[in-house]
Homo-oligomer: A and B are copies of this chain.
Amino acid sequence: MSGESEYLAAYDPREFPPVAVTVDVVALTILGGVLHVLLVERGEPPFAGRWALPGGFIRPGEDLDRAAARELAEETGMADRVHIEQLASYGAPDRDPRMRIVSVSYLAFAPDLPDPQAGSDAADAAWYGVDHLPELAFDHARILDHALDRARAKLEYTPLATAFVGETFTISELRGVYEAVWGVPLHAGNFHRKVLSVPGFVESTGETTESGGPRGGPRARLYRAGDARLLHPALLRPEREEEVR
């Protein structure tokens, strides 16, 4: 913090160029096998009527993480079973036309959820499939892009996929998460063996589903999340030549 001391010694908050800090949350869930993101419709200018990521100003005395969780809860009512983690921060001087705003973005994952409630201050709130997004306000399209990249990468080396499913789940359900987030079909047999071979990824409950799948097939065994924080070896995505150079 070079410069901070002298700066602050003679510092008067009233003179300081005003900067505001917000949190923006990229909340993801899976609906009908498709990855969805929570968006809110802005009720006021700028960008009135435009869809945006849920978020808002941090409050005095409130930590960044708590602010993100609060903003998310205001739109969805979801508090439990939600994984939330910080992503990048955005501070381009002109990213908000009103004033200097630095936004800290967060990524949240939740299992299948009921409809979101529009927060007290948003005109509406809805889950959008990530392949059918409306035009977004501010630089939120870029924030969302970064968030999706991160989510896809984290599925590879963390057990994050289990945050998208219920307390207990089948290997097929887990595969559905990977397919939805990565957007590619995976080989059922190989995926099955792979998941069970990673220590601590899932552990058996000893139970099975009550019945087979809707279109036939045997009952599936049920698992719960294991105690691993990192997957080793990782579940790597199929070849991505394009991204290498």
Contacts and interface: CB of A to CB of B under 8 A. Distances in A.
Interface of A: 1-9, 13-14, 16-22, 24, 40, 42-45, 48, 52-58, 60-64, 71, 74-75, 86, 88-93, 98-100, 102, 104, 119-122, 137-138, 199-200, 227-230, 232, 240, 243-245
A93 B74 CA distance: 22
**How many copies of this chain are found per oligomer?**
2
A61 B5 contact: no
A33 to B, nearest CB: 28
B2 A119 contact: yes
Given A1-B53, A86-B88, A99 B13 contact: yes
B200 A228 contact: no
Nearest to A7: B57
A58 B245 CA distance: 33
Nearest to A4: B56
Contacts of A4: 22, 55-57, 121
B9 A44 contact: yes
A3 B200 contact: no
Nearest to A59: B17
A227 B42 CA distance: 42
Contacts of A89: 64, 86, 89, 104
A54 B2 contact: yes
